[in-house]
Structure 1
Amino acid sequence: MKTYYFDHSASTPMLPTVIETMSELMKLHYANPGALHRSGAEALKLVDRARGSIAERMGAKPEEIIFTSGGTESNNLAIKGSIHKATRANKHIITSAVEHASVYECVRQLEAMGIRTTVVPVDRFGRVNPEDVESAITKDTVLVSIMQVNNETGVVQPISELGNVISRFPHVRFHVDGVQAIGKVPFDWTGWGVHMYSGSAHKFGGPKGMGFLLLKSGVELAPLLNGGDQEQGFRSGTQNVPGIVAMSQALRLTMESRDSRRARMYAMRRQLLDVVDQIPELFINGVHSNMDNAETETAPHVVNLSYPGMRPEVIIHMLEKHGILVSTQSACSSKSLLPSRVLLAMGHDEDRASGSIRISFGDEHTDKDIEILGERLKSVVAKLKPLERNIK
């Protein structure tokens, strides 16, 4: 039986040309880019070229690109780096109730250290109200951290409106977790009032263990890692030359095809939700495709569904027996048996928040694949229906 991978939000397959590039670089360019000899200089030249390419794709300056090990490090660097650099006695962070664990747990750790935190609520679709953020800002606020695309539901936050609000408070920095957004939805680095923006290569066809933080010129951070003063002193450690170049290539290919990919994936999302509407046991969490402005308020590649009262691992393993690979919550939280923190924040009860699965697709999928997914989803739900009372 053919296996269909519908877990792109957790990790995308590496693009074949990116694999080839990375493999070749590992053979040829193994020198440390900090070395003074010719091989080191060649490696550094590759890093600089990749930095320029990523900057061009993101609408930034090359010096605004800080290479990291991925989204988690980028988020932690932005948040902890901002807090530790701030010199005021009282420090305050604002975030939302639906952030990825790498933001949510980072903020919780700082809160345990005495940093005051405000968690703004979301509406039933998972969206933040910019007025709530504005009301929460005080003279002590150092940072607002809000994700662009939710990793569980695909809901898009109003980053432009939030940036406009935050820009009225010059002492406040605005960080955006863009890990699920890059290559999927639009972003304007220069026009939206964002000071820091996190990206991760394995979410857009690049290698795991590589990411970047866009850092607005003039914004200062305290480094998490001290050492050799690489990455302008913000992130010490020998640069991963093959990983950096592979990430830049993956980003270039992703951004070149972004518009056509978005159109394809929105069409597949509508196709899948038309099937889900025929399965009364399933509920859509987030934005439905038939809502006004659906294609500006949700990313095209994520569908979150609940079977209230049914344990998600049961659904996932049943689908896997039918060749369909999906996930529950985020990959970072998938082993937790607790209800989804995101769905609870959206106002759903524990049954619905405990029985959710996430379907996420990508470039390799076709309309036929979505048709097969829909058929097998129907079949699995029909088989589980008689078992509801025993599985809850």
Structure 2
Amino acid sequence: MIYFDNAATTKIYDDALTSYVQVSQKFFGNPSSLHQLGVDAYQVLTKARAQVASLLSVQPEEIFFTSGGTESNNWAIKGTALEKSVFGKHIITTKIEHPSVLQTCKQLERFGFEVTYLDVDSKGIVSIDQLKESLRKDTILVSVMAVNNEVGAVQPIAEIAKVLEEYPSIHFHVDCVQAVERASQLLSIGRIDLLSLSAHKFHGPRGVGIMYKKFGRKIQALLTGGGQEKGERSTTENLPGIVATTKALRMALEEESVTGELRSQLWKELATKPEIRIFSPEDGASHVLCFAIKGVRGEVVVHAFENHGIYISTTSACSSKKADSSSTLYAMDVPTEWATGAVRVSFSNDNTKEEVEQFIKVQHQLMKQFSFLK
């Protein structure tokens, strides 16, 4: 079995899974309880928060644990909208954001907010000039992903941050779910107010996310109740998941990445085929490669590789079962006949050159079959 769908989810590290089990068995008390089991659990939670903050080079009070990237994105956007609606109702994002951003913005439009969706070029990169032109007195939020989940386009976050230095009242949110290795560097810029991460994208458990919120920035809580997470996100903390996430984050940031070599190896092969079109920019994220085979629908390609024990996907896993084709590719002006055939190969450090060689071997076989079907 060859797993090349790591942008959708990653296999949990063995050490992270061990931590999850150990904490579940030893620190099962509710961190909000007053007895010793609760105190012990709270201390573990506090330590985990401090460790995550250290790994991201921020302060512990700026780290909040959520249920994943989708919740973090929803909270950052809706929380800002609710907090700052008295100052304005204009939001800026891009046409190629993750559905958890795009659909959240669409929902806010139904509640009277106005959203500007920035265009991207053929490489999936936003225009700084269009961003400048879109900023208004009533703009309250700019939300731009660090790395696109479908094609791996890397957005100019530092340049956007520089522009927003002249607009200190605007919240700047970055969906960093596909770019955990860039998070600390991006946060060091100093102008990012909100940043989202998801544990299962860096070999942590599912159901745990991280949101950075700059000290002093205010957003409204979406989950109210028991007052956990400093009163900003109520619900009993998933302590085993949080500790496992902390372990996974440390391991992910300490690993030397090999994904760039694997992507380059596959890119060179695919680029020689006239019937294949690569959508990912050559200087994009090292773990994502999106392409299409002319005249073959993406789901056909996915299942054909699956029959050979190789697992890839059709663009975003969060929307791959819907009938709609990739909004990212359409925003990049990719023709429909190519966009409907798009598939995504995404690597992790668990993958090897030998696996890429096997993928290429199978791809050669399938190309002959696809040619026959035409």
TM value normalised by structure 2: 0.98
User: In the alignment, what sits opposite 2:272?
Assistant: 278
Give the whole-Å Cα distance in 1 for the aligned partners of 2:21 and 2:216.
36
**Aligned AA for 1:154?**
G
Instruction: Within 5 Å, give how 1:167-316 maps onto structure 2.
Output: 167-183=165-181, 187-257=185-255, 260-261=256-257, 264-288=258-282, 294=283, 298-316=284-302
Mapped pair 1:325 → 2:318: no
Q: Give percent identity, aligned residues only.
A: 39
Q: For 1:40-79, what aligned pairs fall within 5 Å after superposition? A: 40-79=38-77
Contact 1:71/1:212 (<8 A) preserved = yes
- Which residue is 2:344 aligned to? 358
Give the deviation of 1:170 after TM superposition: 1.5
Report the more deviating stretch, 191-200 or 205-214: 191-200
Q: 1:88 pairs with 83, 86, 89, which one?
A: 86
User: 1:147 touches 1:157 (CA, 8 Å); kept in 2?
Assistant: yes
Q: Is the contact made by 1:7 and 1:359 (CA closer than 8 Å) also made in structure 2?
A: yes
Maintained 8 Å contact 1:183/1:204: no
Please name the residue that 2:357 is paired with: 371
Match of 1:339 among 312, 320, 325: 325
Work out which of the residue numbers 116, 119, 122 in structure 2 matches 1:121.
119
Q: Which amino acid aligns with 2:131?
A: V
Deviation at 1:375, TM superposition (A): 1.4
Deviation at 1:87, TM superposition (A): 4.3
CA deviation vs aligned residue, 1:56-91 (integer Å, no higher than 9, x gap):
111110000011000000000000000000142641
Structure 1 distance, partners of 2:335, 2:185, is: 33
Q: Encode CA deviations 1:15-38: one digit per residue, 9 max, x unaligned.
A: 001111101111111100001111
Instruction: Give the 5 Å matches for 1:146-185.
Output: 146-183=144-181
CA distance in 1, matches of 2:85, 2:290: 42
SS at match of 1:187: helix
- Cα distance change on mapping 1:224 and 1:185 into 2, 3 Å: closer
Structure 2 unaligned spans of 5+: none
Q: Distance in 2 between matches of 1:278 and 1:201?
A: 36
Corresponding residue number in structure 2 for 1:291:
none
- Secondary structure of 1:386's partner? helix
Q: Which residue of 2 aligns with 1:102?
A: 100
Distance 1:101 1:190 in 2: 27
Could you tell me which amino acid in structure 2 is paired with residue 49 of structure 1?
A: K
Letter in 1 for 2:298: P
Inter-partner Cα distance in structure 1 for 2:147 and 2:313: 17
Given that residues 146 and 175 in structure 1 are in contact (C-alpha distance below 8 angstroms), is that contact kept between their aligned partners in structure 2? yes
Q: Which amino acid aligns with 2:325?
A: P
Match of 1:144 in 2: 142
Task: Give the CA deviation at 1:186.
Answer: 6.6
Give the counterpart of 1:382 among 351, 368, 373: 368
Distance between the aligned counterparts of 2:182 and 2:349, measured in 1? 11
The offset of 1:190, in angstroms, is: 2.9
Q: How many residues align?
A: 374
The 3-state SS of whatever aligns with 1:305 is strand
Secondary structure at 2:318's aligned position in 1?
Answer: helix
Moved more, 229-238 or 101-110: 229-238
Partners of 2:231 and 2:330 lie apart in 1 by 40
Supply the AA of the counterpart residue of 1:31.
G
Name the amino acid aligned to 2:355.
Answer: D
Instruction: Call closer, same or farther: CA 1:183–1:287 in 2, change over 3 Å.
Output: same
Shift of 1:277: 1.6
TM-superposed deviation, 1:191? 1.5
Relative to structure 2, which stretch is displaced further, 10-19 or 177-186?
177-186
Q: Distance in 2 between matches of 1:234 and 1:306?
A: 44
For each residue in 1:319-377, what CA deviation from the matched residue of structure 2 results, as whole angstroms up to 9, or x when unmatched?
00111100002111111222211000001111111110000011111111111111112
* Structure-1-length-normalised TM-score: 0.93
Over the aligned positions, Cα root-mean-square deviation in angstroms equals 1.2
One-letter amino acid matched to 2:347? F
